[in-house]
Structure 1
Amino acid sequence: MRDITHFIDGASVAGTSHQFGQVFNPNTGEVQARVALASVGEMDLAVASALRAQQLWALVNPQRRARVMFDFKRLVEANMDELAEMLSSEHGKVIADSKGDIQRGLEVIEFACGIPHVLKGEYTEGAGPGIDVYSMRQPLGVCAGITPFNFPAMIPMWMFGISIAVGNSFILKPSEKDPSVPVRLAELMMEAGAPKGVLNVVHGDKVAVDAILQHPDIKAVSFVGSSDIAQYVYSHGTAAGKRVQAMGGAKNHGIVMPDADLDQAVKDISGAAFGSAGERCMALPVVVPVGAKTAEAFREKMLAEIETLKVGISTDASAQYGPVVSEVHRRRISDYIQLGVEEGAELIVDGRDFSLQGYENGFFIGPSMFDHVKPGMRTYQDEIFGPVLQMVRAENFEEAVALPSNHQYGNGVAIFTRNGRAAREFASRVQVGMVGINVPIPVPVAYHTFGGWKRSAFGDTNQHGMEGVKFYTKVKTITARWPEGMSEDSAFVIPTMQ
């Protein structure tokens, strides 16, 4: 049995808790490794290493830190195939999706390569007689990230890329379901020239999470996961005086207007709903056709599209998606499908009985689709996080705007239309953090920012882009006066009207 250890102070650390989690191969259902789960002692060890490293790393000028980011990017690209295969073997997503996972993380690393520019600060000459005012952004110290199973490369790079580039050290607590890629990324960061201790990886469960939230030397925590845990992390972290951004769940809607290019919308929504087995916080599991005619036409075309979908093992290049991450999660999705039937929605495609020949023990589930889903149903309110598409019919534009606006989640939404005025009004009025116009998964590019509203996000600062730089730095503002002939008796006082 292969053991996956912590990565602390630039080296593999087995840990002392004697607690382990199982790492499955979702394609076969077999346990392929065990991962060490941290005790408080391992977290203390990682924080001590990060503290030592950060004090020196913060003194490295931004240009040299950027060079480390450039080298890290080069190394990740050189090891892309290895990383993608490793990721797929533990998560279950197909290789193409795994490479996309890694690439989207690298785009934030590319942004971090430009860190000297974004750290330049502001300067005002002559703010008063002989007085100049300038500001600078300085690192916080030791920061931490708690990341989910569904993007084991992208989301860690979203966090540690910017945090390390601005001069912090970082402790990553990845999901114990697919922990190998985060460790490999830390090894590559050291190979790129980051000092040992700048990036540590500590595996664990609630013990490790609570240790992060309670440790006085961790100044900021970034989290991505379910909304209940996001709220827990936010409330406990801020109560301990930490800066916290906590991204939660989602129930993203796709509004299909009567004038939409229906063939293109069906293709887009199929990929957004079923790609990566629906295990994405920016998946599109709810479609809202506007008007009965639109709904009937969409239903017919989507049923035909679902017939073409191929579910296969992660290494099958022709498969649209692979297994879900665990048997527990597969059962959870199946239970939600049954609940939808009991709530009165019409199940028009049932993927629960799907089985892949030769991989009968894998965690596979076929695509499913409901029609006539109502807003009061629990299956509509909850995040299913699987390959299940729900159709909620709207009579008009106002109903279509209200559905995502009134939902407890507010991560992403998309509208499919040829009408620029309708799209503009929708984007302005809808109460959701990220909006796509004929774009089914509106994840912003790395130099913009990612974040939802309502129970999809806790905290005031979003991920990556300039919002990420603000989160991982603190601003210091200096007011300087250099008058001629200043004597030792010159007074520095608050200005008055006299």
Structure 2
Amino acid sequence: MQTLSKETTYKNFINNQWVDSSSQETVKSISPMNKEEVVGLIHSSTKEDLEQAVSAADQAKKAWRKLGQAQRGQYLYKVADILEKNLDDIAETLTKEMGKTLPEAKGETARGVAILRYYAGEGMRKNGDVIPSSDKDALMFTKRTPLGVVGVITPWNFPVAIPIWKMAPALVYGNTVVFKPATEAAVTAAKVVDCFAQAGLPEGVLNFITGSGSVVGQGLIDHPLLNGITFTGSETVGEIVAKSASARGIKYQLEMGGKNPIIITKDADLNAAVEAVISGGFRSTGQKCTASSRVIVESEVYDEFKEKLVQETEKIKVGNGLQEGIWMGPCASESQFNTVKHYIEIGKKEGAELIAGGDVLTGEEFDKGFYITPAIFDNVNPDMAIAQEEIFGPVIALIKAENLEEAIEMANNTKYGLSASIFTTNIGSLLEFIDEIEAGLVRINAESAGVELQAPFGGMKGSSTGSREQGEAAQEFYTSIKTVFIKG
């Protein structure tokens, strides 16, 4: 086990050993709250390191599959207990490394514990069905079999929850894993992997490797020993994953973001709607794939809703996420900070009116970090870039609609289809919304962000592939069906 402390060099975990990269080169993980603070060093790994990781997973897959689902589930229970014991340390690391507030980080880590226990329970659930045969003397049934070696590539915005909701089902259903986290959150990821290491998984079952997307990520995507890959991140990389996996005939699973709408009808509870829009749009500094970024309001209540939204938004306290009373932390990196500023300028040039926030915070406690106040744009045309392109930051576009039909049409006017929400007290309106909205996650009188771990998660159109994550649906991706016919 590697020593996990501040400014440690966090090694790769290959074949149950914490090992240095063959390059011996490291990259600093910088805190977005203070760019002079180094959270830790991670290895800039090579193709040779990747080869060792994939080979270890390939060699381990047969024994891990034969171990049995119940026994595999027991390992996940152990991991859950270890993660729970280390919750405070991992949550604090998460906040330091990507900036979300400590209460949010603790909530995410606790969710990781719950996900592990949910999938540990899968160890004792069915993995097939008995099917009647036309031959009365025969037995026919299906059996779920693992893919083999699964690659896991994850983003920086949920560095505990997303890796776990990918790795836990992959492991319990009998696959071995090669895990590459985003560099911006790799220290947090290393601490999560250490929980798996302490649980005593057999050699080669879980392998962890850090490094650039161009070397490690691309190498993993293209590796001939890979039997499946699950990816959450940008559209550009997602397209590469799809092309490579399709060319080799292996399974792939993609989640690539959204431009998620909330519709506010004229009969909505406006106070509840404002609360949900603020939470969905600005929690985690808007850096969620399910974040509310387009707010479509019926004209009769548009001005009243806008006034309430601006008033509540201006109360938000931005700052260091480790401090009490801070509601929103910084952007996760300088790159993301610059992206948010860029889109705010685009919105202004397009003719939208910035009516709240969008200010870079300055002063002693802010100058070394990437802090910006939550922004609201008024007079937004549905075709503007700020209403079409994923910003992944605390920016909301207000759009006026004359009626529900127009609002739904505007909501669907995007290449994405991840999540969508409506606030209404009219049952006819909510039923029409459920039927007509083009989104994989549909929420009524609730924010667009968030999904329960036992429910399928994924989008439509350009947001996701057809394979859903989380809940029982995860089995569909991580296993194949084998139909067995036995003649008596």
TM-score, scaled to structure 2: 0.95
Runs (4+) off by over 4 Å: none
1: CA distance, partners of 2:106 / 2:365: 25
**AA matched with 2:295:** V
2: CA distance, partners of 1:245 / 1:333: 28
Name 1:279's counterpart in structure 2.
287
Tell me the matched-pair count.
480
1:371 aligns with 2:381: no
**AA matched with 2:18:** S
Name 2:137's counterpart in structure 1.
130
1:254 aligns with 2:262: yes
1:21 aligns with 2:24: no
Instruction: Spell out, residue by residue over 1:213-245, the C-alpha distance to the aligned partner (whole angstroms, 9 max, x if none).
Output: 111111000000112221221122221222101
Instruction: Sort the Cα spacing of 1:356 and 1:52 in 2 relative to 1 into closer, same or farther, 3 A.
Output: farther
Name 2:467's counterpart in structure 1.
461
Of 230-239 and 246-255, the range deviating more from structure 2: 230-239
Instruction: Spell out, residue by residue over 1:192-225, the C-alpha distance to the aligned partner (whole angstroms, 9 max, x if none).
Output: 2311321111112221111111111110000001
Kept in 2: contact 1:22–1:31 (CA 8 A): no
Shift of 1:103: 2.6
Shift of 1:51: 1.7
Name 1:487's counterpart in structure 2.
none
Kept in 2: contact 1:66–1:113 (CA 8 A): yes
Instruction: Sort the Cα spacing of 1:356 and 1:467 in 2 relative to 1 into closer, same or farther, 3 A.
Output: farther
Secondary structure class of the residue paired with 1:391? strand
Secondary structure class of the residue paired with 1:121? coil
Shift of 1:31: 4.8
Shift of 1:139: 1.0
1:163 aligns with 2:170: yes
**AA matched with 1:439:** A
1: CA distance, partners of 2:104 / 2:162: 14
What are the equivalent positions in structure 2 for 1:137-148 lying under 5 Å apart? Answer: 137-148=144-155
Name 2:332's counterpart in structure 1.
325
Of 271-280 and 117-126, the range deviating more from structure 2: 117-126
Name 2:344's counterpart in structure 1.
337
Shift of 1:22: 2.8
Secondary structure class of the residue paired with 2:77? helix
Kept in 1: contact 2:296–2:411 (CA 8 A): no
Instruction: Sort the Cα spacing of 1:240 and 1:352 in 2 relative to 1 into closer, same or farther, 3 A.
Output: farther
Secondary structure class of the residue paired with 2:227? strand
1: CA distance, partners of 2:194 / 2:369: 30
Shift of 1:113: 1.6
Q: What is the RMSD of the two structures over their aligned residues, measured on CA atoms?
A: 1.5
Shift of 1:351: 2.4
Name 2:4's counterpart in structure 1.
none
2: CA distance, partners of 1:449 / 1:355: 42
1:474 aligns with 2:480: yes
2: CA distance, partners of 1:120 / 1:432: 29
The match for 2:100 among 90, 93, 96 is: 93
Shift of 1:5: 1.9
In the alignment, structure 1 segments of 5+ residues that lack a partner are 483-498
Percent identity of equivalent pairs: 31
2: CA distance, partners of 1:336 / 1:262: 28
1: CA distance, partners of 2:264 / 2:240: 35
Instruction: Sort the Cα spacing of 1:125 and 1:432 in 2 relative to 1 into closer, same or farther, 3 A.
Output: closer
Shift of 1:52: 2.2
**AA matched with 2:77:** F
1:313 aligns with 2:317: no
Kept in 1: contact 2:264–2:298 (CA 8 A): yes
1:178 aligns with 2:206: no
What are the equivalent positions in structure 2 for 1:58-137 lying under 5 Å apart? Answer: 58-124=65-131, 127-137=134-144
1:418 aligns with 2:425: yes
Secondary structure class of the residue paired with 2:229? strand
The match for 1:8 among 4, 10, 14 is: 14
Name 1:451's counterpart in structure 2.
458
1: CA distance, partners of 2:127 / 2:287: 39
Q: Which has the larger radius of gyration?
A: 1
Name 1:383's counterpart in structure 2.
390
Shift of 1:117: 4.2
Shift of 1:418: 1.0
Instruction: Sort the Cα spacing of 1:358 and 1:31 in 2 relative to 1 into closer, same or farther, 3 A.
Output: closer
**AA matched with 1:460:** G
Secondary structure class of the residue paired with 1:120? coil
Shift of 1:163: 0.3
The match for 2:56 among 41, 44, 49 is: 49
Name 1:493's counterpart in structure 2.
none
Instruction: Sort the Cα spacing of 1:317 and 1:238 in 2 relative to 1 into closer, same or farther, 3 A.
Output: farther
**AA matched with 2:424:** T
Name 2:303's counterpart in structure 1.
296
**AA matched with 2:279:** G
**AA matched with 2:14:** I
Name 1:352's counterpart in structure 2.
359
Instruction: Spell out, residue by residue over 1:360-385, the C-alpha distance to the aligned partner (whole angstroms, 9 max, x if none).
Output: 21111111110011112112111111
1: CA distance, partners of 2:131 / 2:479: 21
Shift of 1:353: 2.9
Kept in 1: contact 2:71–2:123 (CA 8 A): no
**AA matched with 1:475:** I
Kept in 2: contact 1:279–1:385 (CA 8 A): yes
Kept in 2: contact 1:404–1:432 (CA 8 A): no
**AA matched with 1:231:** E
Instruction: Sort the Cα spacing of 1:126 and 1:253 in 2 relative to 1 into closer, same or farther, 3 A.
Output: closer
Instruction: Spell out, residue by residue over 1:76-115, the C-alpha distance to the aligned partner (whole angstroms, 9 max, x if none).
Output: 1111101100111111111111122223333332221222
Secondary structure class of the residue paired with 2:472? helix
Secondary structure class of the residue paired with 1:308? coil
Shift of 1:118: 3.9
2: CA distance, partners of 1:82 / 1:127: 59
2: CA distance, partners of 1:127 / 1:306: 65
Secondary structure class of the residue paired with 1:312? coil
2: CA distance, partners of 1:399 / 1:275: 28
Shift of 1:18: 4.4
Secondary structure class of the residue paired with 2:377? strand
Instruction: Spell out, residue by residue over 1:21-70, the C-alpha distance to the aligned partner (whole angstroms, 9 max, x if none).
Output: 33111111125133212211111100111122222111112111111111
TM-score, scaled to structure 1: 0.93
2: CA distance, partners of 1:163 / 1:120: 14
Name 1:495's counterpart in structure 2.
none
**AA matched with 2:380:** V
1:240 aligns with 2:248: yes
1: CA distance, partners of 2:401 / 2:237: 32
In the alignment, structure 2 segments of 5+ residues that lack a partner are 1-6
Name 1:215's counterpart in structure 2.
223
Secondary structure class of the residue paired with 1:137? strand
2: CA distance, partners of 1:19 / 1:65: 35
Shift of 1:17: 2.8
